[in-house]
Amino acid sequence: MPRARGPVLQTPEKHAARAAALWLMTGVLEDGISLADLLSRGSGPMTTLVPEDRARAQRLATETLRHLRTCDQMLGPHLRLAPRLFVHNALRLATYEIMGTGAASHGVVNAAVDLVRAAQPDSKAPGLVNAVLRNIARRDPAEWQAATPASLPKPFRKPLVAAWGGKIVTAMEAVQVHVPPLDLTLKAQEDAATWAETLGARVLPGGSLRLPAGQQVSALPGYAEGAWWVQDAAAALPARLLAAQSSERVLDMCAAPGGKTLQLAATGAKVTALDISEARMRRVSENLARTRLAAKPIVEDALNYTPPMLFDAILLDAPCSASGTVRRHPDLPYLRDLSDLADITALQARLFDRAVGLLRPGGRLVFATCSLMPEEGEAQAATALTRHANLRAWDLEPKCAEMDLPAEWVTDGGALRLRPDHWAEIGGVDGFFIAGFTKAS
């Protein structure tokens, strides 16, 4: 795994959270490592922080990356040339703090200068940072509010425009610039009204609960007793559409981190949770323990897995570009190349074929990807039908009507297509493609 090369800073303790945020940004923008991978490591400056500073560092890095191109627009008039990446990131972080959060400019400027001086003590960079940020501090905060949501990086945006058109992609960007709300899935869906009142949440079509952003999840009622788990409303739909029954043998084929496994287990079905990653499967086991639900975790490559019996129902949420999750993972546009998806779509096809082989005649298969790219969704489902004459595709419109989901989300082929700009007025939703199939008897 690549190493995050951010400078080892000898900075005052009061700057520790900002220093860690810069380390995270460097890991993403220079080393191409996701925030999730950086945060899961047992090394680096994040490990030395108290929980409050760790949360602050993560929030600063995440939100600066979310607004990175807007920060660059603000900095542009004050920079003749782009400085070295670490200095540039320090400027971006400080610009977000001053313009995006309204933090007192004096403290932010001094912190940025101290951080850069610690990293580059013999350069002119600290003076540059001081001069540029004092200019930023003089600007009207209304400029930030009035700024048009910055577009996604061109290599990420161009394939999306080719797929959806510029108008729709601009609508997606307008949603993705905001911190997404918090969605929860209940263990007992019949208690939705009670939990909505307890948590101050709204019940979404489909059954998820939605709370405002900024919640401390572990402090919410119901967390400790496992009454619910965090899961985007779109990610909860594949398991709901599969509609597992208590008497069925069900396979969650690429299970980690486990939200869908929990949904399937909550039906009382005999659930096998399969994933190739031992580390990610530990999270599945932890979530099963917290929610007091039962499933059989197996760490194995799904392409090589041979069960003792065929399954009644299979959920395949296949590995993909994750391009639909940018609103929750603003580092992704700087890590993913959507112009060449040949390897990942080939893997999806192999996993699909394996799923069909593991399904009993008359059994049900739901295929899903959290991608906005048609080759990982609509095209993948269409070509699968040409390979498997014994499969029948579902028309999901009646099921969507039962859940009060908009009919226009159903594709011409009867599948479900969600985009981040759907439900934009209440915070949007992850991009997802979901299709259902029955294997002929």
CATH code, domain with 71: 1.10.940.10
From first to last of the 441 residues of the chain, give the pLDDT tens digit: 455 555 544 556 789 999 999 999 999 999 999 999 999 887 789 999 999 999 999 999 999 999 999 999 999 999 998 899 999 999 999 999 999 999 999 999 999 999 999 988 878 999 999 999 999 999 998 999 888 888 899 999 999 999 999 999 999 999 999 999 999 999 999 999 999 999 999 999 999 999 999 899 999 999 999 999 999 999 999 999 999 999 999 999 999 999 999 999 999 999 999 999 998 899 999 999 999 999 999 999 999 999 999 999 999 999 999 999 999 999 999 999 899 999 999 999 999 999 999 999 999 999 999 999 999 999 999 999 999 999 999 999 999 999 999 999 999 999 999 999 999 999 999 999 999 999 998
Look at residues 102, 123, 146 and tell me which one is the last residue of a structural domain: 146
Q: What are phi and psi of 213, to 5 degrees?
A: -65, 160
| Domain interval for residue 191 | 182-439
Domain holding 330: CATH number?
3.40.50.150
| Positions marked catalytic | 370
Give a yes or no: residue 6 inside a domain. Answer: no
- Cβ atoms of 178 and 427 within 8 Å: the answer is yes
3-state secondary structure of 221: coil
- Classify residue 18: in a domain, yes or no: yes
Question: According to the model, what pLDDT value does residue 312 have?
Answer: 98
Quote the pLDDT of residue 123.
Answer: 86
Residue 174 lies in a domain: no
What pLDDT sits at residue 1? Answer: 44
In a domain, 4, yes or no: no
Same domain, yes or no: 352 and 226: yes
Q: What is the SS3 assignment for 157?
A: helix
Contact between residue 160 and residue 338 where contact means Cβ atoms under 8 Å apart: yes
CB atoms within 10 A of CB 397: 15
First to last CA, the chain: 46
* Pair 191, 132 in one domain: no
Structural domain includes residue 62: yes
Q: State the pTM of this model.
A: 0.93
Please list, residue by residue across 238-247, b when 16 or more beta carbons sit within 10 angstroms of its beta carbon and e when fewer do.
bbbbbebeee
Number of independent structural domains in the chain: 2
Burial of residue 21 (number of CB atoms within 10 Å: 0-12, 13-18, 19+): buried
pLDDT of residue 148: 80
Tell me the pLDDT tens digit for each residue of 106-149: 999 999 999 999 988 878 999 999 999 999 999 998 999 888 88
pLDDT value, residue 13? 74
- What's the pLDDT score for residue 176? 94
Query: Do both 211 and 132 map to the same domain?
Result: no
Assess if residue 84 is contained within a domain. Answer: yes
What's the pLDDT score for residue 150? 82
In a domain, 398, yes or no: yes
Q: How far does Cα 118 stand from its chain's mean position?
A: 34
| Residue 267, in any domain of the structure | yes
- 140 and 186: one domain? no
